[in-house]
């Protein structure tokens, strides 16, 4: 029976205090090492999943001189490569992210209606980015604009803003007053 097989253990003396403390230290060291290894691996794997090289266009790109954009126009030449429209309006210039705030499709600029229209669910946006029709809940995002040392515009899509007021201050809207670097002819 089962009891017979366990017989060889029955005459063992119970472990002394020192022995049981040694066992406990051994067990805790083992468990602690396992936990430490597990934490190190988890941290390493989280880092592993964040690539250091990305196969996508950079978020920053040089977009030419401000005066190359026509006043009152929406320029769509960067839409395909960078998903950005450059708008020169009044005395200012700003860049809008071509990313519908409803579900992220790319709207198109309809010059005759002065509207951005999204093909997916019909959201319409004005030239400043405010939604006027469709399900889009908030204005289009503007991205950071700055003037580089050579006077060319630098667009940085990592920095975004769509709140009225905030979006009309640098770097989300630059004023072309003729005195800044990258002069705009009057």
Binding site for another protein (CB under 8 A): 44-45, 47-53
Q: How far is the CB of 165 from another protein (least distance, A)?
A: 40
Q: How far is the CB of 51 from another protein (least distance, A)?
A: 7
Using the minimum distance from each CB to another protein, give the nearer residue, 13 or 47.
Answer: 47
Number of residues assigned to the chain: 186
Using the minimum distance from each CB to another protein, give the nearer residue, 18 or 50.
Answer: 50
Using the minimum distance from each CB to another protein, give the nearer residue, 13 or 52.
Answer: 52
Q: How far is the CB of 14 from another protein (least distance, A)?
A: 21
Contact criterion met (CB below 8 Å) for 31 and 37: no
Measure Cα distances from 110 to 46, 74, 82, 121, 159 in Å.
44, 10, 19, 16, 26
Residue 151's closest CA among 125, 120, 108, 185? Answer: 185
Output the CA torsion sign for 66, 67, 72, 77: negative
Q: Which two tokens stand for residue 95?
A: 């860049």
Q: How far is the CB of 45 from another protein (least distance, A)?
A: 7
Contact criterion met (CB below 8 Å) for 142 and 94: yes
Residue 154's closest CA among 141, 170, 178, 130? Answer: 170
Q: How far is the CB of 157 from another protein (least distance, A)?
A: 23
Using the minimum distance from each CB to another protein, give the nearer residue, 17 or 54.
Answer: 54
Using the minimum distance from each CB to another protein, give the nearer residue, 51 or 104.
Answer: 51
């Amino acid at each position: 029976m089962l009891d017979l097989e366990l017989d060889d253990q029955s005459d063992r003396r119970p472990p002394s205090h020192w022995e049981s403390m040694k066992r406990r230290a051994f067990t805790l060291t083992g468990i602690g090492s396992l936990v430490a290894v597990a934490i190190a691996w988890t941290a390493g794997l989280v880092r592993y999943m964040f690539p250091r090289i990305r196969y996508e266009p950079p978020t920053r790109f040089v977009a030419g001189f401000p005066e190359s954009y026509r006043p009152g126009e929406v320029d769509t030449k960067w839409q395909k490569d960078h998903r950005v429209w450059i708008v020169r309006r009044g005395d200012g210039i700003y860049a809008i992210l071509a990313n519908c705030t409803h579900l992220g499709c790319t709207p198109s600029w309809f010059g005759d209606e002065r509207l951005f229209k999204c093909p997916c669910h019909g959201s319409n946006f004005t030239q400043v980015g405010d939604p006027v029709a469709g399900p889009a809940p908030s204005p289009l995002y503007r991205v950071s604009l700055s003037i580089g040392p050579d006077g060319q515009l630098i667009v940085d899509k990592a920095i975004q803003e769509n709140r009225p007021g905030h979006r009309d201050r640098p770097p989300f809207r630059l004023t072309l007053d003729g005195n800044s670097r990258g002069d705009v002819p009057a």
